[in-house]
Amino acid sequence: MIISEFYSGFESLNPSFNAVSCEYICEYDKKSRLKEISARMYFNQFNIDFAYIVKGLAVGPRSTLECRIWLNKSEKLLYFTPYDLMFMLDPGNFKCYFYTFIESAEKMGLCFNNLAADVKELLPKIAEIAGDPQKVQQAYNSLKANITNHLGKNIFEPDIQLDPETNELVLKSNLQYYYQWVRLRFASKCYSDFLSGDYRKAIRKYSRYKKRLDYEDRLLQFMKSIPDGQKYQAVIPELNTIKQGLKEQTRISEAFIIYISWIVNTIFLFPLFLGLYYLLLYISTRGALYSTCSELYNSMLILLPTFITSIVPSYFSRKLLYRIFFRKN
């Protein structure tokens, strides 16, 4: 339902962008499951993607909607987010261009409409940058500086020269890691605090970051300049999906459900271990008139190995139990 809403939202809004053409690009994992959908619009000198990432990393944001801008139509790997270009588009604009933890089709519709409207306002300036080779180069230099600041100097000029195909594969892998890291930054409690207007917490957390993006440096200075009592509305509260998603994640944490799974598995495994205990006791004490080991209080010693053994199955059964006990979540 969420994916269908993504398609219908793009179909309804695409004509207003006056793109030359458009297409959908789907990416699948090794098990042929859909990972990502990109709704791409082709303009004369640039391309724009509205991308929906279905799952994402095992730890981090999931069900994510974002915008990607391609200033070089022949570039396969390097794309810009609106945040990357905002120093040229509108330095005073600190709106939210990233929506994650989208849990329903209704929320997808609202997020897509809001993102598309904000991106549409940037179109004239994006076209202006794309039409100026010097500005395009300036934009790529800024993006590469952010990437090398995080991944190291040799990301674009490796010390070891490999064949072109291998070089491209290594670069692609590194850039995927970088963009995943960026998503984690914008799906963090730190950015959520900014969107919620809790600037003191956001400033304190951003100040601790050792490797900040250029955008984060400007955002930090912007928050420090906001007078006490005033708020900048980067996103309406109803669409602050990051805050809502992080709140849901921490409210019912995975550690808690693993603990419940551990208890449940212990209860199920205890009769099995108890039966095994008495079987071994019977084999080892045959012919004895009486054995104190058969007393129930002595058999309770098997609780310890039962607890230890339950750790492994508790991890694999956690999702099933989560669906049973927390269906609404």
Q: Quick one: tokens of 78?
A: 């390097």
And the tokens for 182? 């960026």
Helix (H, G, I), strand (E, B) or coil at 49: strand
DSSP labels for 205-237? HHHH-SS--HHHHHHHHHHHHSPTT----SS-G
* Whole-number pLDDT of residue 278: 81
**Does pLDDT of 327 surpass 70?**
no
Give the whole-angstrom CA distance, residue 268 versus residue 262. 10
**Kind and range of the H or E run holding 42:** strand 34-42
Q: Which residue has the higher pLDDT, 318 or 10?
A: 10
Q: Check if the beta carbon of residue 10 is closer than 8 Å to that of residue 50.
A: yes
- Name the least confident of 150-159, 173-182, 208-217, 227-236: 150-159
- pLDDT reported for residue 277: 82
Which range, 217-226, 230-239, 276-285, 297-306, is most confident? 217-226
**Rounded to whole angstroms, how far apart are CA atoms 186 and 193?**
11
Contacts of 67 (CB under 8 A, 6+ apart): 48, 49, 50, 51, 81, 82, 97, 115, 119
Inform me whether the pLDDT recorded for 36 exceeds 60.
yes
How far apart CA 202 and CA 192 sit, in angstroms, is 8
Which pLDDT belongs to residue 246?
A: 79
111 vs 117: CA distance, rounded Å: 10
Cα separation of the two ends of the chain: 17
Residue 83 has what pLDDT? 96
Is residue 322 scored above 80 in pLDDT? no
CB 183 within 8 A of CB 64: yes
